[in-house]
Chains A and B, each alone.
Chain A
Amino acid sequence: MVHGEVWTIKEFFTYPNEYIYWPITIVMYPYITGLVAGAFVLSSLYHVFGVKQLKDIAKFSLVFSFALLPVAMMPLLLHLTQPFRGIEVMLTPHFTSAIAAFGVVFSTYGMIVASELWFVYRKHFVEKALELKAKQSRSGVEGIFYLIYSLLTLGAYDISEHALEKDEKAVGLLAAIGIPVACFLHGYVGFIFGSVKANALWTTPLMPVIFLCSAVVSGIALCIVTYAAVVSMRNCIYRRKKKDNPSLPDDPTIKPVDIESTRTTVKYLIAFLILAFVLELLDMIFRIYTATKSWDILRVVIFEHDLIKVFVLQYGIGNILPFILLLLPGLTVRRAVIASTCILFGVFMMRWNVVIAGQTFSSSYSGFMEYHMPLAPVNLETLKEGLAGLIAVIVTPFILFFCFNKVMPVFGKPDSH
């Protein structure tokens, strides 16, 4: 079987070699990259622009952005038919290709986030390393942690006030550089699609901007949801422990989800949501109005085949509903979380409606293709690029976040910033 044949159903006339070549994994790629960029932008709002209300969520979103970062590459690797050669994109880039810039952009961004994290957590690393060093007898786990923390200090043990002040400056600087780089990272993902001239739906100069705005939207939304979920989970666990053992001392880090912080975050969310929505609308209106050759088939795709996916799932549930929910007076955390979940779903549908819908019409403009995501894997291809691959991509950032949180605790330890 040819790659893609198993999940493609063809209608009317399509070129014999046409299949849905970019399936769910490539839907996840811009989605995850968007979350990375968005989460980082949110954390930068505090570090660069000093939005004080975002202090708690800023640290959280920075670590989460770092946990999402390696996962952005995952769907790409799952998608490649020769995954072991994937590294060649970094080693032998062919720079006329938009994808070739991936290595440069991605690693630059990765380094910025990693260094920013290092400066944010340096004090913690040093304290932990010294604390474990002072211990007379270390258990096996403590030994490992000691090793990790000692390595993470990179030999810089100076945590005097002067040194920490310098750290803070470095964080501000890195966050400031990080914003354009994060925007570039995701705008560039939009460019990968927008520059495919052979695809009538993708080819528009608006694509990078649309991708960027929806990226920020999804990143902020994910931070709101995950932050609220993690805080509630911690509270719940603490309450249960307290119930079993009433003598447990009060933990100052256990507090309800900060509504002020959530409300401030939501303000930025709404602003970017409006921008993303307006740009998408502009793109569609422009296509309808100019009605070039490709519009005949795009019209069928958007208004007939994918009517529900575009107008109900993406615009309805993903944009308009959360917009109303967020604008109604007396915003509660629960409502913000519900609205943010809708937005996350909406942005996912937007990615789907770009990546998949862009491949559901033949470039002969005379036929259609339908994508059926493989659920049960029957071979390696359907395992990597089906439901199993999708679940792996969704679950991995949370596992990574759990691990990172062990070394760089998001809650508790008040840091120098």
Chain B
Amino acid sequence: MINRREFCKKAMVMAGGIALPLSAFQLFDPKSLHAEKNDGNSTRWIFLVDTHKCVGCGFCVKACKSENEVPFETNASRTWVERYVVTLDGHTYIDSPKEARNGFTSTKIDQQHHGLKDVKNEDIAKGFFVPKLCNQCDKPSCVQVCPVGATFRTNDGVVLIDRKWCIGCGYCVQNCPYGARFFHPVHHVAEKCNFCYHRITKGLKTACVDACPFGARKIGNLKDLSDPVTKVIMNDRVGVLKEEYGNKPQVFYLGLSKEVR
């Protein structure tokens, strides 16, 4: 007759004995091994912004809003353009009036509550435009913090939002260092740029890339070494925004300046 103590001991040994070979199955799963070597995807969408070429026309913002059904009058956008004006005394003025949906039509800097700031031409050291969009990070903090998993990263690197699952807590919005997210005014769920996923997966370019008359925006596939965008990223000196957060952003910039936020 086995007593209780013996039974417990034997049960533990048996459980251990069963668990060990089972864990080996996990360890030597060829699929996961293959995935660890190479993530098994032939695509990793990336974006290249050439700030030298941007003139601040705002066509990209307009195209994005219409393609992705974000109402034109909404004071938020999946993509926007920032203007940087650096004066000779070292002061930096930044603005993005109405996300630049109408382009930069005035030389005055929009200081929002403080009105428009007139900076004289002779005081300006340099000025440039920087288009912004979601960085489709490799380690997206928005995905990490979503309490219900409504936002997720696809195998080809794009971060998407499930509008039917998002509860609208705003934790992802708070956790994005780039200010890429907002609440959709119609659907009332988190919203952001998704590289026009519905287009790029069908072989098209994103709406903003198509709309840019100067070729300042380009989309590419990092896994394809013959892709012209990949070539630029491999061979040229490119920068990314806010690297210090560790999100590993995948929107690359040519001509970044230290003033860019």
Interfacial residues, chain A to chain B (CB-CB below 8 A): 1-5, 9-19, 21-22, 76, 79-82, 85-86, 88-89, 92-94, 96-100, 102, 192, 195-199, 359, 362-367, 370
**Does B178 sit within 8 A of A, measured CB to CB?**
yes
Q: How many chain-B residues does the 8 Å CB contact rule pick out?
A: 50
B144 to chain A, nearest CB (A): 5
Instruction: Knowing A1-B185, A21-B173, A86-B167 are in contact, say whether A98-B114 is a contact too (CB < 8 A).
Output: no
Q: Which of B80, B167, B178 has the most CB of A within 10 A?
A: B167
Within 8 Å CB of B165, what residues of A? 85, 88
Instruction: Knowing A3-B188, A81-B189 are in contact, say whether A364-B148 is a contact too (CB < 8 A).
Output: no
B interface majority secondary structure: loop
Within 8 Å CB of B180, what residues of A? 17
Q: How distant is the Cα of A364 from the Cα of B144 in the complex, in angstroms?
A: 22
Nearest 9 Cβ contacts at the A-B interface: A81-B168, A15-B179, A94-B149, A3-B183, A364-B261, A99-B147, A13-B94, A17-B182, A198-B177
Within 8 Å CB of B87, what residues of A? none
Q: How distant is the Cα of A23 from the Cα of B28 in the complex, in angstroms?
A: 50
B127 to chain A, nearest CB (A): 14
- In the complex, the answer to whether A85 meets B147 with C-beta atoms within 8 Å is no
- In the complex, the answer to whether B245 meets A198 with C-beta atoms within 8 Å is yes
Q: How distant is the Cα of A368 from the Cα of B93 in the complex, in angstroms?
A: 14
Within 8 Å CB of B80, what residues of A? 15-17
Within 8 Å CB of B111, what residues of A? 11-13
A76 to chain B, nearest CB (A): 8
- In the complex, the answer to whether A79 meets B169 with C-beta atoms within 8 Å is yes
- In the complex, the answer to whether B174 meets A13 with C-beta atoms within 8 Å is no
Stretch at the interface among B8-16, B19-27, B71-79, B207-215: B71-79
28 A–B contacts, CB within 8 A, in A order: A2-B74, A2-B182, A3-B168, A3-B170, A3-B188, A13-B261, A15-B179, A16-B75, A16-B76, A16-B98, A17-B80, A17-B173, A17-B180, A17-B182, A18-B179, A19-B182, A21-B173, A21-B174, A21-B183, A22-B174, A85-B165, A88-B165, A93-B148, A94-B149, A96-B144, A192-B171, A198-B245, A366-B92
Q: How distant is the Cα of A192 from the Cα of B170 in the complex, in angstroms?
A: 12
> Whose C-beta in chain B lies nearest to the C-beta of A91?
B148
Within 8 Å CB of A99, what residues of B? 145, 147, 169, 171
